[in-house]
Structure 1
Amino acid sequence: MTAPALQELILVGLYPTVLCAVIGTDIARRVIPNLLVAALLLGFAAMALVAPLPDLSLRLLVAGAVTALGFSLFSQGLVGAGDVKLAGALMLWLDPVQLPLFALFAGLIGGGLSLALAVRLQRRAAGGPAAAPVEASLPYAVALAGAGLLLHPYSSLMLGA
């Protein structure tokens, strides 16, 4: 397999597939499997070997900073460890300048999820149509992966492929 073909397979095959799997498992079980985060990390490592990135050190720095900040929030019980690992891995795939947009999109999607969850819990409490038990935790990996999918087409990885 040629380097450009491998790069394209990773960019348009692996990355979106893994993020869709993350969304599915987080909705179904409120779990982000380490295997999926590892797939993102290994896929990025393969990308960096196939097509050297001029901003690799900055990507690593931003990913490390996001992960460190995330684990400080995790230590306070504010976010889950899986969400932290996912956010750090996603920062490798997105351009460092996309960090503010990533935070904005994840926040907007997370806000929509929060609103939907609040409505379901309110209906459940009122004995309305939501008869099935409702998980009270927020599947925030949906917001993180959604933001990653929204920004991916505009990253330098995709534009340079």
Structure 2
Amino acid sequence: MQVSEVILLGLYPTALCAAIGSDLARRIIPNLVVLILLAGFAALLFLMPLPDLSLRLLVAGAVTALGFSLFAENLIGAGDAKLAGAVMLWVDPLQVPAFLAASGILCGLLTLAAAAERRQMRARSAFGILAHSQSLPYGVALAGAGLLLHPFSSLLQAA
């Protein structure tokens, strides 16, 4: 197995799974996960020709800027903004609409799950006080969409 295949089939999915686990457990996406995604993509630059590199960089930059705009408005966390930009490097530019749809659907499912959990907690509590965070783990939707689209990536065909 070549190094590029190890990165594509091992490092990328593992980093996304780590982001999902951490976001669910602690509502934090560690900077190390984002750095691993960035370093893995940088390593691919030296190991193989990357399709649509300039467009990937443009989309990732735009998504990062949008993410930090949403963070400034306190709509998402900084970890979500950083993760979104890093994941967009790995997503084919032509897959961006599918990525948005998949992450939107996953966000909707997370919202439904959180609402059901809150409803269940209110039923158990005499005072209706919620113990859990009011925020949604958007990193789960972002990383989940990245995992769903990964098998169809042009990066895998180029490796």
TM-score by length of 1: 0.92
1:126: Cα distance to partner?
1.5
Q: 1:16 aligns with which of 4, 9, 13?
A: 13
Three-state SS of the structure 2 residue aligned to 1:152 is: helix
8 Å contact kept, 2:50–2:158: no
8 Å contact kept, 1:121–1:136: no
1:86-101 alignment to 2 at 5 Å? 86-101=83-98
Unaligned runs of 5+ residues in structure 1 are none
8 Å contact kept, 1:87–1:144: yes
1:35: Cα distance to partner?
0.5
Letter in 2 for 1:13: G
1:134: Cα distance to partner?
2.8
Q: 1:151 aligns with which of 142, 149, 152?
A: 149
8 Å contact kept, 2:56–2:89: yes
Three-state SS of the structure 1 residue aligned to 2:28 is: coil
Number of equivalenced pairs: 155
8 Å contact kept, 2:49–2:158: no
Superposed structure 1 runs of 4+ greater than 6 Å apart: none
Equivalent in the alignment of 1:103: 100
Q: 1:141 aligns with which of 129, 139, 142?
A: 139
Q: Report sequence identity in percent.
A: 62
8 Å contact kept, 2:29–2:80: yes
Distance (Å, rounded) in 1 between the aligned partners of 2:132 and 2:32: 27
Matched, 1:112 2:109: yes
Distance (Å, rounded) in 2 between the aligned partners of 1:22 and 1:137: 16
Q: What do residues 109-132 of structure 1 show as CA deviations (whole Å, max 9, x unaligned)?
A: 01001000001101111117xxx9
Three-state SS of the structure 1 residue aligned to 2:75 is: coil
What is the RMSD of the two structures over their aligned residues, measured on CA atoms?
1.4
Distance (Å, rounded) in 1 between the aligned partners of 2:134 and 2:55: 37
Distance (Å, rounded) in 1 between the aligned partners of 2:62 and 2:122: 40
Letter in 1 for 2:102: F
1:93: Cα distance to partner?
0.4
